[in-house]
Amino acid sequence: MVEADMTSPMNADGQLGSLLDRLDRQINGLQSASRIGKNDHALRVLDVARRVLLHEDGLPALRQRAGTMDEAGLFSGTDWGRPAQLLPGLVKHTLTHAAQQTITLEAVSLLRFLVVATGEHATPDLSPSQAEQFLTQVLALNLDRVLGQGLDEAQRREHNALTPAIERLMRYLVQEVGTDGVLDHLIAEIWRIMAQRPLQVDHVKAMIAQIAQALQTGSSRASDVHRGADRLISALFGPTTLSREDPGIPAYIDRLSRADERMVQDEAYALARAMHDTGLVSDYHAGFLRWAAEADQAKMLPDALGLSSTGLDALRCYEPLVRALVDAAIQPGTAQAIYGLALMLERGILYSPPIAPSLWRLLETPLTEGCASALEATCGTALPPRTQLIAGVIMLLGQPLGVGQGNNPTCQSARALSMWALNDPDYLLWLIAQVTRRDRLVLHFEGEPLDSATLPPGLATSALLDADPVSVLLVPHLDRAYAEMGRRCADRSEDPHRWINPELHGWWVGRDFHIAVDVATGALKNYESFLRHFHASYHPQYNGNQPVIHPQPAGIAVTDSNATFVGWHAITLIRVGLDPTGQMRVYFFNPNNDSGQDWGHGIVVSTQGNGERFGEGSLPFEDFAARLYLFHDDGLSSLAPVSVPDDQIASIASKGLKSWAADRAYESHTTPD
């Protein structure tokens, strides 16, 4: 008889009790095993513990048994056998790169530290204070998992069935240990994330709520923590005078209705200031806008949105449309769309003739049953799916660089949505109209139609549960079309993106294509020539000071913090220019939810402080070029007007050869340092 696969969440549901019975039997077996048989019994314990860990409700049960497993000898003879000597800095690597058996052992060890910290279990040479300090450091070093930011390229490559379970474990540890000790790290990380202005901020809001609770209970030990947290907390729960003590939406509306005009004006200013300062929007802001619309206080709308003269002109020209968008999309549950609306007006895209009619069409389009079900699965049922979609469209049009791929291998599709929202929004709205009306997408590749309804699945093999509303509807269809384009190019001798990128993204993608590797062998090919072409195409000092006209797709060879090659990744090259210090930098969009990454050998992507606009990552030109392997250009200038120095090319090539290209054959007349 074949045993059911207990690693499947569906199979695990409802079977926790039987799993725990098996785990208890295996623990008893380990307890009574001879020294020779300990190892085999420990493996059996870990096998069942892994299955319990995968269960959504398994963590409390594992916690209850962590001390017993320790006493039974689960950690004996391993590096975890001396907990006082364990290093918190190694936990992240183990949880990301180790085999599932080792990950499970690490997870049980962390629960062991928890029960020691809370006094539920005692172990030699490890005091409760030491255990708590260890957990605090582990959480501070794993803030990406605590915050649920999604995986970077290196983590996505190592993604396995235990990844969601480990993320649950980290959140569980934060709940049990508290935010004291990690608070300063957590607040700094939230500010870093919000500096990139992502579309999805529910995980950030949840952490701010937890910080607020920690400060309210007085568990925070450092007064300087308050200074970093107060602005975040007030932005969400008390951004104005009338909402300062978080009275609730009904009470706030009542106070507004009894306030004089000056007080209402001050409320509008305060809401806008909090929103633009942090990128976070309070539910009170949504309540204010809806009250203003119903109370015939439309004159407060520009102040509540914090508009400049540009945004104010757009609002005045398209006020009926803006009011309709507010009525359809702005609710306490979709407050973030207010920020998107303000930025959309500031962009001035409503002046493009197709945009306003396309938005009116969106407002009048009913969703198909399939679209509604997909949105409900991701966004919940508290608000109608149509409200969620319109709010999502507003956010994407206002924040084109805020979209992310989540924990999905769909960087190409996420990049496409961003590029269209940034450069071709009427085409994006046309794609949305297709899907919402017909549950299908018809794109064209080299003159032939591609109907997503008839195509096999692409890289996204399951529903997107960690994406914005527009991505939820479009990415599955785009992913199928992208995969089909790849299949149609499979027999061509060159990289398929030579043909896919211009056909998928738009006419403005450069038709001249440059790649640093030979597709057939993976070896480097004319690397110095590739780097010279990149300078001639994009470096202002070597291309006649020509700016980037349209955002261009590019490919990077992603490396981890050890400069080890991870894989190929799609990004968008936005612009090239001098930063505030006078250094030439490349500013780009990374669809992986967080552009700030360490690519090794001192190449650390910056997201703020070096002239970045919201959503951009940046690197010095030479560092970016050292990780670049594919780019397009318009072909208007074939040679650099000013020759690029040989030593500069050699230096960049050396950085590539010492990292992602270390194992690739290399032929050149110049020997890099």
| pLDDT reported for residue 646 | 94
What DSSP letter does each residue of 33-45 carry, written as one string? --TTTHHHHHHHH
Total-model pTM? 0.83
Q: Would the pLDDT of 593 be above 90?
A: no
> Is 36 within a domain?
yes
* Mean per-residue pLDDT of the chain: 89
Q: Would the pLDDT of 657 be above 80?
A: yes
Nearest to 599 by CA among 558, 568, 570, 571: 558
Q: Would the pLDDT of 671 be above 70?
A: no
* Averaged pLDDT for residues 171-183: 82
* Averaged pLDDT for residues 196-204: 91
557 and 431 in a common domain? no
| pLDDT reported for residue 152 | 59
Q: Which of the listed residues 177, 206, 229 is the one where a domain comes to its end?
A: 177
Q: Where does the pLDDT of residue 639 fall: very low under 50, low under 70, confident under 90, or very high at 90 and above?
A: low
520 and 484 in a common domain? no
* Averaged pLDDT for residues 508-525: 92
DSSP 352: S
Residues 505-541 as b/e (b if ≥16 CB within 10 A, e otherwise) read bbeebbeebbbbbbeeeebbbbbbebbbbbbbbbbbe
> Is 445 within a domain?
yes
507 residue type, one letter: W
530 and 445 in a common domain? no
Least confident of 13-22, 148-157, 225-234: 148-157
Report the C-alpha dihedral over residues 508, 509, 510, 511, rounded to 10 degrees.
-100
| pLDDT reported for residue 540 | 94
* Averaged pLDDT for residues 130-152: 76
Q: How far apart are CA 71 and CA 411, in angstroms?
A: 46
Q: How far apart are CA 489 and CA 505, in angstroms?
A: 16
Tens-place pLDDT, residues 19-61 = 999 999 999 999 998 888 889 999 999 999 999 999 989 999 9
Q: Where does the pLDDT of residue 217 fall: very low under 50, low under 70, confident under 90, or very high at 90 and above?
A: low
Q: How far is CA 139 from the centre of its chain?
A: 19
φ, ψ for residue 586, nearest 5 deg: -100, 130
Q: Would the pLDDT of 366 be above 90?
A: yes
547 and 442 in a common domain? no
Least confident of 43-52, 408-417, 570-579, 647-656: 408-417
Selected residue with higher pLDDT from 228 and 482: 482
| pLDDT reported for residue 154 | 58
413 and 365 in a common domain? yes
Query: Token digits for 418?
Result: 């961003």
Q: Is 563 helix (H, G, I), strand (E, B) or coil?
A: coil
582 and 455 in a common domain? no
Q: Is 285 helix (H, G, I), strand (E, B) or coil?
A: helix
549 and 470 in a common domain? no
Query: Token digits for 355?
Result: 């945009």
Q: Residue 407: enclosing H or E segment and its boundaries? A: none
What DSSP letter does each residue of 356-378 carry, written as one string? HHHHHHHHHPPPPHHHHHHHHHH
At CA 500, angle to CA 499 and CA 502, rounded to 5?
75
Domain span at 370? 352-488
Tens-place pLDDT, residues 415-472 = 999 999 999 999 999 999 999 999 999 999 999 999 999 999 887 767 777 899 999 9
54 and 143 in a common domain? yes
| pLDDT reported for residue 673 | 30
530 and 612 in a common domain? yes
Measured CA to CA in angstroms, residue 349 lies from 355, 359, 404, 433, 603 at distances of 7, 11, 22, 18, 36
Q: How far apart are CA 468 and CA 267, in angstroms?
A: 29
Least confident of 14-28, 131-145, 369-383, 592-606: 131-145
153 and 33 in a common domain? yes
| pLDDT reported for residue 12 | 42
> Is 653 within a domain?
yes
Burial class (CB in 10 A: 0-12, 13-18, 19+), 169: buried
The residues, any chain, with a CB within 8 Å of residue 564's CB and separated by 6 or more, are: 600, 659
Measured CA to CA in angstroms, residue 546 lies from 526, 571, 630, 640 at distances of 25, 21, 20, 11
Instruction: Provide the H-helix boundaries in 259-409.
Output: 261-278, 283-294, 301-305, 309-317, 319-329, 336-347, 355-364, 369-379, 385-398
> Is 2 within a domain?
no
Instruction: Provide the H-helix boundaries in 98-246.
Output: 100-117, 128-141, 143-147, 153-157, 163-177, 183-194, 202-216, 223-237
Q: Which of the listed residues 151, 177, 203 is the one where a domain comes to its end?
A: 177
Q: Would the pLDDT of 653 be above 50?
A: yes
Q: Tell me how many domains the chain contains.
A: 3
Q: Would the pLDDT of 666 be above 70?
A: no
> Is 319 within a domain?
no
| pLDDT reported for residue 457 | 85
Q: How far apart are CA 198 and CA 200, in angstroms?
A: 6
Percent of the chain whose predicted confidence (pLDDT) is above 70:
92
Q: Where does the pLDDT of residue 175 fall: very low under 50, low under 70, confident under 90, or very high at 90 and above?
A: confident
Q: Where does the pLDDT of residue 292 fall: very low under 50, low under 70, confident under 90, or very high at 90 and above?
A: very high
Least confident of 72-76, 146-150, 458-462: 146-150
| pLDDT reported for residue 178 | 78
* Averaged pLDDT for residues 322-336: 96
* Averaged pLDDT for residues 474-484: 95
Least confident of 56-60, 132-136, 510-514: 132-136
> How many CB atoms sit inside 10 A of residue 658's CB?
15
> Is 206 within a domain?
no
Q: Would the pLDDT of 4 be above 50?
A: no
371 and 466 in a common domain? yes
602 and 529 in a common domain? yes
Q: Where does the pLDDT of residue 526 fall: very low under 50, low under 70, confident under 90, or very high at 90 and above?
A: very high
| pLDDT reported for residue 226 | 66
* Averaged pLDDT for residues 483-492: 94
Q: Which of the listed residues 156, 177, 198 is the one where a domain comes to its end?
A: 177
Least confident of 332-346, 411-425, 589-603: 589-603
Q: How far apart are CA 390 and CA 363, in angstroms?
A: 7
Selected residue with higher pLDDT from 431 and 157: 431
> Is 289 within a domain?
no
| pLDDT reported for residue 324 | 96
Selected residue with higher pLDDT from 133 and 32: 32
Q: How far apart are CA 400 and CA 318, in angstroms?
A: 21
Q: How far apart are CA 539 and CA 597, in angstroms?
A: 23
Q: Where does the pLDDT of residue 672 fall: very low under 50, low under 70, confident under 90, or very high at 90 and above?
A: very low
| pLDDT reported for residue 93 | 84
Q: How far apart are CA 673 and CA 651, in angstroms?
A: 7
> Is 610 within a domain?
yes
Percent of the chain whose predicted confidence (pLDDT) is above 90:
70
